[in-house]
Amino acid sequence: MAVADFFDVLKTRRTVRSYTNEGVSRQDIQDLIDSAVLAPTGMNAQPWAFTVVTSRELMGKLNAIVVEMLKGPEMQQLMASEGLRNAVNAPGFNIFYNAPALIAISGDPKAPSTAIDCQLAAENIFLAAHAKGLGTCYMGLLLMAGEIPGVRDLLKLPEGYKLQAAAIVGHPGQRPEGPPQRNPARIDWVA
Ligand SMILES: Cc1cc2nc3c(=O)[nH]c(=O)nc-3n(C[C@H](O)[C@H](O)[C@H](O)COP(=O)(O)O)c2cc1C
């Protein structure tokens, strides 16, 4: 791929929250994980494990646990955004937006920079997916439930590993319009 194409990928990737019913092929998921593991890691520790879920039934169970957590009084109070509160409380809210696949990244806490390493891997997945015409959305709401035993059990996370990042993947239904909305970066050119 020419470098110019890479910048197109960067500039046009958006979070996708609407998916067609079409599944994501095993090869596509493999390609995304192959891209993820190219990310740099502290001391080249590569402290990650990738958990792939394509069962709608399992995603439904995970969703139910997360939504129940989000509807608890503590979480409702913590949710600063009224928009998010309304979305979460709407009937049928699905944190996965009915996407056909989930890639969860868990990490070995003994490595020196596990959390950072896993986020870098996740970003590679977002960019690679977009380059392949697939849509993705970071699953922050799932991460908030990462320590709930039911979530750990359903995902069958490796012993001792902690959920660090997660993305849904699918064929985009509706893509958000326009480029990412970004503020001008504060840049201090020091000396
Ligand atoms: C750490 C993190 C957590 C996120 N969690 C969610 C989430 O749980 N659900 C969701 O719909 N979007 C989630 N997002 C997506 C952001 O809302 C989105 O990236 C942001 O609004 C910018 O939009 P863009 O990705 O289209 O540029 C998350 C993004 C990040 C980086």
H-type helices in 90-174, by residue range?
Answer: 114-131, 140-144, 149-155
190 CA from centroid of ligand 1 (Å): 31
Please choose from 18, 78, 95, 137 the residue to mutate so as to test ligand 1's pocket, defined by most ligand atoms within 8 A of CB: 137
CA distances from 187 to 26, 53, 180 (A): 42, 40, 19
Please determine, for residue 3, whether its predicted confidence score (pLDDT) is greater than 80: no
Q: Which residue has the tokens 């985009």?
A: 172
Q: What is the pLDDT of residues 72-120, one digit of tens each?
A: 998 888 888 888 889 889 999 999 999 999 999 999 999 999 999 999 9
C-alpha closest to that of 96 among 119, 72, 67: 67
- In this structure, are residues 106 and 161 in contact, taking their beta carbons and an 8 Å threshold? yes
Q: Report the predicted TM-score, pTM, of the whole model to 2 decimal places.
A: 0.96
